[in-house]
């Protein structure tokens, strides 16, 4: 949080198998600033779901 604002960011990881190591696939970068942590979380979640849908993840 900076100056009373929260920043939305997301990282997507993929595992080759159930016991495999998680490997970062995509980082969103800043998705904008929001007045609450819940709003920032929602924006990051929305971005991650859309990215997964578009990339068959």
Query: 22-27 and 33-34 as β-strands: parallel, antiparallel, unpaired?
Result: unpaired
Taking a C-beta distance cutoff of 8 angstroms, is the pair 9, 39 a contact?
A: no
Task: Place 2 in a pLDDT band, splitting at 50, 70 and 90.
Answer: low
For the question of whether the overall pTM of this predicted structure is more than 0.85, the answer is: no
DSSP structure string for the chain: -BTTBEE---EEEEESSTTSPEEEEEE-----EESSHHHHHHHHHHHHHHHHHHTT-
pLDDT in tens, 25-44: 899 999 999 999 999 999 99
Q: Which two tokens stand for residue 8?
A: 């939305």
């Amino acid at each position: 949080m900076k100056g009373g604002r929260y920043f939305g960011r997301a990282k997507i990881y993929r595992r080759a198998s159930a016991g495999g190591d998680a490997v970062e696939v995509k980082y969103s970068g800043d998705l904008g600033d929001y007045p609450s942590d819940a709003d920032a979380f929602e924006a990051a979640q929305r971005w991650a779901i859309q990215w997964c849908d578009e990339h068959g993840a």
